[in-house]
Structure 1
Amino acid sequence: MLRAPGRLLEGAGRQAVFFFDTVRYMPHAAKSYKKETVRLIAEIGMGSGALAVIGGTVVIVGFMTLSGGSLLAIQGFSSLGNIGVEALTGFFAAFINVRIVAPVISGIALAATIGAGATAQVGAMRISEEIDALEVMGIRSLSYLVSTRLMAGLISIVPLYSMAVLMSFLASRFTTTIVYGQSSGVYDHYFATFLRPADLFWSFLQAIIMALVVMMIHCYYGFNASGGPAGVGDAVGRAVRTSLIAVVMVTLLGSLAIYGTSGNFDLAG
């Protein structure tokens, strides 16, 4: 009866040690593997192989946040219109996009693109014994394979998330003012009134934490993959499930820590 909790605690301990070592080796990776880090930044942003044709993660994150912003405007305009205050759609875009829509959608996109790719790449190297070969050659595999990917993810998330937020804003404005015909002056007034710089700062911090968590989780499962190609596929599946849960938990805990139980805004103007 005690075996399952014991295995769970043992697995959590292994992950904690792996994450600690990954962060500890980041200065070494930044000093010794600059070219690899730059290559990974380009790969994360624009993709590789066939994925590079459509722009990789940039296009995927942009399209998903574009869809999220449009759906927010559609639902907001329709729901607010039922009580005669559709002018507050700009408030919806400024308030909900920054706090919920953009962070969650970006986190899901990171897990499905950057994260899954990292698990597959590192896992393939593990089952083909390339990681063991790196160790034999005196290369710190954790620093070369994992710490570099973690740094690349943290560097790439800032421009990626900036684009995601802008796309969600543009989609909401276009849908409200062009599709539904609301006055752009009314929309811009409520949007500017409720868009708080502090919310943008916390939103970016939340995205950075998401990128950190997603990359570490996926690299852990890839680094410890076993069982041949089928084992790599299983590692990708488990990593995606875990990282999706982590994205939601980061959003939940971050919202509780930053905003608490209050909405932190005054419905005026």
Structure 2
Amino acid sequence: MADTISVGATPSTLRPRLRRLAGTFGTGWNRIGEQTLFYALTIRSVGIAVVHYKAEIVRLIAQMSLGVGALALIGGTVVVVGFLTLSTGAIIAVQGYNQLSGVGVEALTGFVSAYINVRIIAPATAGVALAATIGAGATAQLGAMRIAEEIDALEVIGIRSIAYLASTRVLTGVIVVVPLYCIAALMAFAAARLGTIVLYGQSSGVYDHYFDTFLIPSDLLWSFVQTIAIAVVVMLIHTYYGYTASGGPAGVGEAVGRAVRASLVSAIFVLLLVSLAVYGQSGNFHLAI
């Protein structure tokens, strides 16, 4: 009797694979639905947080901006954002001057600072700083409360947990990001100017001329809009992962890692969408010699 050799997957092995694939697909859609519902409830509960949990908002503002404990000694998030944007502004000076000097137009380094820092570098750096400091801290705090059953205890005593824990943090993130971004933009401008003038010896008058010429005030306002949108998205993602953490301390650490990864990707995506919406039509830029 000749043996029968089957090629490929048989129906008996194909059906479990299809069931696993359908289950994975359904689980992903359910997770997206849960996140969307959580985000909607968090945004809708901002009014409740403002009315009933003012003290918590004030406490979170102090904690997120200046930090607590040992972190308060160095200024908390303010110093982190300042040093990050200081380094990126210095990179603008180094790369901008070197690249432009290759074609003989190094005098336009001030233009590069006024154009790229405002539209891309400063908002992106602020988003990274928010995700790595305020966002990660919020995820860890909420995750620790979840595994310690403190969130369930809040629900038992009649406190709206989403409004008290998530909405307050989202609102605080938006409030804190405004002065933080002012510091970020100033540090980026100062680092680019000092790097170009001190390190490369360019005349301060030349740099200031091109910087003042191409710095558009409306771009600064749109840059604030970009940063606020990024702050909302970052805080929503981090509060969700912290609020739904499970699996003990290891689960909290995993939730922080997942939240940081998701918020960084989402922050760049938001920056891209807002930039395309604002500057995609014409760019609001004209270079004339």
TM tier relative to shorter chain:
over 0.9
Code of the aligned partner of 2:57:
T
Aligned counterpart, 1:88? 108
Q: Which of 45, 53, 65 is 1:25 aligned to?
A: 45
- CA shift digits 1:9-56 (9 cap, x unpaired): 111111111011111111111111111100100111011122111111
Question: 5+ unaligned residues in a row in structure 1: which ranges?
Answer: none
Q: Which of 130, 139, 145 is 1:110 aligned to?
A: 130
- CA shift digits 1:44-82 (9 cap, x unpaired): 101112211111100000000000000011100011011
TM-score (norm 1): 0.98
Aligned counterpart, 1:78? 98
Aligned counterpart, 1:123? 143
Aligned counterpart, 2:117? 97
TM-score (norm 2): 0.91
1:197, CA displacement in angstroms?
Answer: 1.1
Aligned counterpart, 2:250? 230
Q: Distance in 2 between matches of 1:260 and 1:35?
A: 42
1:97, CA displacement in angstroms?
Answer: 0.2
Aligned counterpart, 1:194? 214
Superposed CA RMSD in Å reads 1.0
- CA shift digits 1:224-261 (9 cap, x unpaired): 00010011001000000100100110111111111116
Matched, 1:181 2:204: no
Name the SS for the 2:151 alignment partner.
helix
Q: Which of 217, 233, 240 is 1:220 aligned to?
A: 240
Code of the aligned partner of 1:27:
G
Aligned counterpart, 1:139? 159
The answer to which of 177-186 and 165-174 deviates more is 177-186
Name the SS for the 1:200 alignment partner.
helix
Code of the aligned partner of 2:160:
R
Aligned counterpart, 2:288? 268
Aligned counterpart, 2:228? 208
Code of the aligned partner of 1:134:
L
Code of the aligned partner of 2:161:
S
Code of the aligned partner of 2:69:
G
Q: Distance in 2 between matches of 1:244 and 1:32?
A: 31
Q: Distance in 1 between matches of 2:26 and 2:174?
A: 33
Count of paired positions: 269
Q: Distance in 1 between matches of 2:189 and 2:262?
A: 29
Matches within 5 A, 1:47-62: 47-62=67-82
Matches within 5 A, 1:160-175: 160-175=180-195
Larger Rg: 2
1:180, CA displacement in angstroms?
Answer: 1.1
Aligned counterpart, 2:65? 45
The answer to which of 255-264 and 84-93 deviates more is 255-264
1:195, CA displacement in angstroms?
Answer: 0.5
| Identity fraction in percent | 62
Name the SS for the 2:108 alignment partner.
helix
Aligned counterpart, 2:29? 9
1:262, CA displacement in angstroms?
Answer: 4.3
Q: Distance in 2 between matches of 1:224 and 1:250?
A: 24
Structure 1 residue ranges (4+ consecutive) displaced by more than 6 angstroms after TM superposition: none
Q: Distance in 2 between matches of 1:7 and 1:50?
A: 41
Name the SS for the 1:139 alignment partner.
coil
Name the SS for the 1:264 alignment partner.
coil
Q: Distance in 1 between matches of 2:281 and 2:244?
A: 40
Q: Which of 68, 72, 83 is 1:63 aligned to?
A: 83
1:124, CA displacement in angstroms?
Answer: 0.2
1:102, CA displacement in angstroms?
Answer: 0.4
Code of the aligned partner of 2:42:
T
1:268, CA displacement in angstroms?
Answer: 2.4
